[in-house]
Chains A and B, each alone.
Chain A
Amino acid sequence: MAPARDVAVVSVAQTAQRRAAAGLSETEMIQPAIRAALDRIDASISDIGFTCSGSSDYLAGQAFSFVMTLDAVGAWPPISESHVEMDGAWALYEAWVKIQAGHADTALVFGYSKASPGDLPRVLTRQLDPYYYGPLWPDSVALAGLQARAMLDAGAITEEEMAAIAFRNRTAAADNPNAQLRGSASVEELLATPYVADPLRRHDCAPITDGGVAVILAADDHARRWSDRPAWIRGIDHRVDSHNLGARDLTRAPSIALAAEKAGATGTFDVAEVHAPFTHQERIVVDELGLAEGTTLNPSGGALAANPVMGAGLLRIAEVADRISAGTAGRGVAHATSGQLLQQNLVCVLEGE
């Protein structure tokens, strides 16, 4: 079913993505991005019909931490707002649905985290089944290693190809002033480094990042008023694979292919930004999306160059939208993932006029 309304990304802004946003609370960290996204289109919070954020209390070490962050929006007198305990890309989806339903014409969406105060690979174990997986405290890197091993065993990737994926992303990030890891050692040098969780080396893993991103959506004429070149959302869909890792073929993520189909992510794209926190996962995402050769892949450096958990998926949408609005791309696709081993996936197709 075609969307009822044309909705576009009209403004994006991100924080610097850094290992530790020392000296800043989460609220202070995300405030400049929210403010910049509004300022870019000369808007204020009173122009925004709906606000939705994505973040995690487990990362913040604080219950209902997102409520504090709303101070950075200017949430008093009360605004219409919601929150997802997921990547901000799912907050964007909720906002898009809200606009499609006619309950708002404009929306502010943001996703962020400070992963630095806790032990991220351990915190992420709390996403897992609490009966069979949680008591084993399987850290996120070792879990990703199971998936990488499955791909290596199946001949779906090689360690050289994994290193090349890290090299390409981090080399691309050299041009991204917001990225955390900019530039890369050579593939040969990367392969000479030790394993951190055999078969994964450090370069196979996304960095641990503090940061966030804010995006403004607008429908129809609202979008045209705010932007000379809105990045129209032509399709958006999200799907989920089983949380039962032992029942999955870990070399695949059918939910990506299904979300892509439902979002109309076929044909050619000038640019693709995919959310792959581990090198081998980029191969899975690209294969499931069926991306054609010649698509510029992760020009920002992707999650391997900066991975603010709960923001890195929304950041992919922002990076594609920014290029469309700047006129350097005509049509693009963004992918976001949430959960572990590409469990939940969102695909968003964006296009200029």
Chain B
Amino acid sequence: MSPAESDRTLSTMPTDVWSQPSVDVPDLGGVEQVQRITVPASMRYDYSPGLTQTRFLRALEEKRILGERTPGHEDVYVSHRGVDPVTGLPTTEEVEVGPHATITAFCVVHIGFGVNAPPTPFVSALFLPDGAAVSLYGTVGGISHEDVRIGMRVEPVWVDDADLTTSMENIRYWRPIDEPDVPAEQLKGHM
């Protein structure tokens, strides 16, 4: 983008099209006008992920990563939602994948968001578990962020056994293992 473009006025609306006439208000005694209100909206749910994702979460409690596929189809989905997103057919065949995985994408994060974000800088990444067609999201640890590469081989680092729950938080982070990188062309279609 040229400097001239970046300096241009963002709104292209003619000035006389949108306007709000001033409002005559009875004298309220020179008090401060309300200009903003805070309207909190809190909703409570009894959330269930369904039986399919329940199986995935229960396996995580046993430090196993479960995928599913449609019988007769090759691609294993993880974490699965009960259907194959290519065919729209139910995934009824359970397949254990990983735990070793390959980094298919990563991002060095310098600005933390949210209460659960790790200290910055950290590396968020997509991890393709061995045997799976799609990647899981997580963070990379045990290595300087400058050394993270696409194709790098990794394994999950689990929380202590006593802290295992039915949650993705069981995987604290993924760390490198001593295996050669997977060439990028082998990751095509999984990025």
Contact = CB atoms under 8 A, between A and B. Distances in A.
Verify whether A and B have any Cβ pair under 8 Å.
Answer: yes
Contact of A68 (B46, B81, B88): B81
Interface string B42-65: 011111111111000000000000
A130 B53 contact: no
Interface in B77-99: 81-90
A134 B43 CA distance: 13
Nearest to A34: B88
B41 interface: yes
Contacts of A72: 83, 88
B48 A134 contact: no
A24 B83 contact: no
A45 B84 CA distance: 13
B39 A27 contact: no
A299 B47 CA distance: 34
A65 to B, nearest CB: 11
A61 B48 CA distance: 11
Contacts, number: 76
A61 B81 contact: no
Q: Is the interface of B mostly helix, strand, loop or mixed?
A: mixed
Given A123-B43, A134-B39, A28 B88 contact: no
Given A28-B81, A35-B89, A71-B88, A118 B43 contact: yes
Contacts of B41: 126, 134
Interface in B1-43: 37, 39, 41, 43
Given A117-B48, A123-B43, A25 B82 contact: yes
B50 A24 contact: yes
B178 to A, nearest CB: 34
Contacts of B50: 23-25, 27-28
A220 to B, nearest CB: 26
Nearest to A23: B51
A47 to B, nearest CB: 12
Given A24-B51, A117-B47, A135 B82 contact: no
Interface stretch (A73-81, A149-157, A277-285): A73-81
A122 interface: yes
Contact of A117 (B45, B52, B82, B89): B45
A54 B86 CA distance: 21
A326 interface: no
Interface string A30-72: 0100110000000001000000000000100100000010111
A77 B86 CA distance: 7
Given A71-B81, A123-B43, A22 B88 contact: no
Contacts of B37: 131
Contacts of B49: 25
B95 to A, nearest CB: 17
A353 to B, nearest CB: 31
Given A25-B49, A28-B52, A117-B48, A75 B85 contact: yes
Contacts of A74: 84-89
Nearest to B75: A76
A119 interface: yes
Contacts of A61: 43, 45, 47
A27 B51 contact: no
B29 to A, nearest CB: 23
B39 A31 contact: no
A128 to B, nearest CB: 11
B81 A27 contact: yes
Contacts of A119: 43-44
Given A23-B50, A117-B48, A122 B85 contact: no
Which 3 residue pairs of A and B lie closest in terms of their CB atoms, listed nearest first?
A74-B88, A25-B50, A61-B45
28 contacts: A22-B48, A24-B50, A24-B51, A25-B50, A25-B53, A28-B50, A28-B81, A28-B83, A35-B89, A45-B88, A61-B43, A70-B85, A71-B83, A71-B84, A71-B85, A72-B88, A74-B84, A74-B86, A74-B89, A75-B85, A117-B47, A118-B43, A118-B44, A122-B43, A126-B41, A126-B43, A134-B39, A135-B39
Given A68-B81, A134-B39, 9 more contacts: A24-B82, A28-B81, A28-B82, A71-B81, A74-B89, A75-B88, A76-B85, A77-B86, A118-B45
